[in-house]
A and B are shown apart, each in its own frame.
Chain A
Amino acid sequence: MRIAGRETRPWLHGAVSVLAGFVMLWAMTSFPVLNYRLVDMLNMALYYPETPFMQLRGIIKYSSNWVLERASLQEKVSQLELKNRAMSEALQKAGVKVPDTKDSVVTARVTLRYPEAWWQEMRIDKGSDDGITEGAAVMSEGFLIGRISRLGAKYSWVELITSSSFFIAAAIDETRDLGVINGDDRGNLRLLYIPQDRNIKRGMRVSTSLMSDLVPPGIPIGTIIGFDEPKEGFMPMRIQAGAHLTQLYAVEVFSAKRSKK
């Protein structure tokens, strides 16, 4: 390459490229919207060429786990059927009419999870075209793992429950105490704002509380495994997530079918 008629040395190009790289890094971290726009543009451009490899990976992955998963799912379905029957009987005896469910879930595959933001976000291969909406609850194996944070036509980004910017109302199943679930970007979960004097024990389960029609109440989150130092009258609690957050390959996104007025 020539600059002002002189052949420039490679090391000079190297130095300029390093500088350009850091300027780019600064610009992208300072203006996340620009970063998201560029990331989405590139991902859209690569969507079709990458699809066969994504499908092939899915086929190999699922065929290898199919037998094991099938047995465990069948067992789960039978347990749920029994539970459902018992609850229906109890409701019938109490004279409560069970309304038909209008909601559904969309199954999606994980297409990207940055090692640098492992506990913060990931991308899935379903978007607004599939009925997904921003803020919708995302689950794995029946447990809450996050919420839709950004949406494209054919993809969406999930903010994981372990992200420090994730806050969601949650209740302890056994006592109905209400608190807020929050992550720390390092894989840990905490239940905050539960008064110190409450009789909470290890092993109690935590699930979502009524928040919006995009995050229904009662989705299990995890189990209480310990307590931190009390602060300002509240006892922060350590929660073990119910889902395997390090092994997320496929997820379910809650899709609320809102009734038309």
Chain B
Amino acid sequence: MSIAAAIWLVQDFMQVFSMGICIVPDLFLFSVLLLALKPGSGTGRQSALIWAAFAGGLLWDLRWTNLPGLTAAINGAAVAAACHIWHKVPAQARTVTLFVIISGCAHLLSGIIHFCFWTIPSQAAIRQLAVQQLLAVPVLVVVSLVFWRLSDKHA
């Protein structure tokens, strides 16, 4: 949990630094997904992480959006859906590829839902969304590498 809190702060500082330039990728969501889906995470821990994602989302809303509760709901739903899918697939299929697909889709959906509520000019909004999703690619690569290392160790 303290890792997730530290990553929330890092994301906040990055957003302060890049305010007016771009919207930073959701490092916090990626890190919570990593913690929830890494080998050895039981349902109890996953449930706790859903609420951690909710709390982080709520704080993000209070700091950076004017719709408090929206990011919280998105984060809670994303982590819960990811855990549900993870449990539904057989253990052999829980690979890095599936982790990348789940995390990538969660991030993209979160970005699109926020995009629907923006009132900035449409072209600028599309550019912001595209930049955020592109910046998420290297983050996703790093998170996937960490997931791969953890899976390797666990195996």
Contacts and interface: CB of A to CB of B under 8 A. Distances in A.
A107 interface: no
In this complex, the interface size class of chain A, counting residues with CB under 8 Å from chain B, is 35 or more
Contacts of A115: 23, 65, 114, 117-120, 125, 128
Nearest to B14: A53
Contact of B54 (A17, A28, A35, A246): A17
Nearest to A50: B16
Interface string A230-261: 00000000000000001101000000000000
B130 to A, nearest CB: 14
Contacts of A119: 119
B62 interface: yes
Contacts, number: 152
Given A14-B84, A17-B80, A116 B54 contact: no
Interface residues of B, number: 51
B47 interface: yes
A46 to B, nearest CB: 7
Interface stretch (A19-27, A93-101, A130-138): A19-27
Interface string A89-120: 00000000000000000000011111111111
A120 B68 CA distance: 17
B139 interface: no
B129 to A, nearest CB: 10
Tell me the interface secondary structure of chain A in the complex: helix
Interface string B40-71: 00011011101101100111001111111110
A8 interface: yes
A25 B68 contact: yes
B89 interface: no
Interface stretch (A36-44, A139-147, A196-204): A36-44
A10 B70 contact: no
Nearest to B49: A10
B64 A114 contact: yes
A7 B43 CA distance: 8
Given A17-B54, A21-B57, A21-B76, A28 B68 contact: yes
A21 B73 contact: yes
A87 interface: no
Contacts of B48: 1
Interface in A167-190: 185-187
Given A42-B62, A112-B63, 17 more contacts: A7-B43, A8-B43, A9-B47, A10-B50, A13-B47, A13-B50, A14-B80, A17-B80, A22-B69, A23-B69, A42-B59, A42-B63, A53-B16, A57-B16, A116-B118, A120-B119, A249-B20
Interface of A: 1-2, 7-11, 13-15, 17-18, 20-29, 35, 38-39, 42-43, 46, 49-50, 53-54, 56-57, 110-120, 185-187, 246-247, 249
